[in-house]
Amino acid sequence: MSFSIKENLNKIRSSIPKHVSLVAVSKTKPIEDIQKAFDAGQRIFGENKVQELREKQPNLPNDIEWHMIGHMQSNKVKYIAPFISLIHGVESFKLIKEINKQGLKNNRVIRILLQFHIADESTKFGFKIEEVLEILNSNEFKTLKNIEVQGVMGMASFVSDHEKIRKEFSNLQAIYEQLKNSFFANQETFNILSMGMSGDYKIAINEGSTMIRLGSSIFGARY
């Protein structure tokens, strides 16, 4: 087997536009594999479980930007609040408020993305646009100074129908533009459209993605 993390990374990097950031999704993969990707120049890594992230983070270089990409329970925010660089999967007001509270405790502003439900599979989490508009319009939201919403995130249906996937990404792109041109019109840092995984990132980039999250195409299959 000629599989090499470095080769995979180089191939992907050379095929994606410069304005698209790459999150290397290292869930279930050992520290050694993450270190190999780091040595090949990768700095942004994504994990989907708080416990796994807590175990890996102290054993790897300090200048890694850790992204939390999975479904999160509010009571676990405290464990990653001191170091997390971006939380992608934010999908309730309760979670937004808890992240703000932990940001305050740690004397920092925590960057978040709002996760939208774009697939029709019931297993995928996320907001509907009406819910987000209600939150953003609330007085309580305006008092939260220790979070910053920097964009949106979503996952397409896990199907082989490219046209279906393309439509779902296109829907998310429209939501992103709507928010960017209204609530966040004066916030330059609202510039992240996180969509696209190993199987569908090319479609996502065509639909306007600015951040892709790739696991298996970098590190190999997960078992």
Ligand X SMILES: *Cc1c(COP(=O)(O)O)cnc(C)c1O
Give me the residues that bind ligand X (CB under 6 A), please. 25, 27, 48, 69-70, 155, 197-199, 213-217
CB of 199 to ligand X, least distance (A): 6
Q: Give the CB-nearest residue to ligand X.
A: 215
- State the chain's maximal CA–CA distance in angstroms: 57
CB of 209 to ligand X, least distance (A): 12
**Per-residue tokens: 64:** 């890694």
Q: What are phi and psi of 151, to 5 degrees?
A: 160, -160
Nearest residue (CB) to ligand X, 48 versus 150: 48
**Per-residue tokens: 41:** 């120049």
Give the residue ranges of DSSP H helices in the chain: 5-15, 31-39, 50-56, 77-80, 93-105, 129-137, 139-142, 162-181, 201-206, 216-219
Nearest residue (CB) to ligand X, 25 versus 50: 25
CB of 188 to ligand X, least distance (A): 26
The separation between the first and the last C-alpha atoms of the chain, rounded to the nearest angstrom, is 17
CB of 100 to ligand X, least distance (A): 22
Nearest residue (CB) to ligand X, 77 versus 144: 77
Nearest residue (CB) to ligand X, 157 versus 216: 216
CB of 91 to ligand X, least distance (A): 12
Nearest residue (CB) to ligand X, 16 versus 136: 16
CB of 179 to ligand X, least distance (A): 20
Nearest residue (CB) to ligand X, 151 versus 215: 215
3-state secondary structure of 21: strand
**Per-residue tokens: 83:** 């170091």
CA distances (Å), 217 to each of 9, 24, 99, 143, 158, in order? 8, 9, 31, 41, 16
**Per-residue tokens: 129:** 């646009």
Contact 200, 165 (CB under 8 A): yes
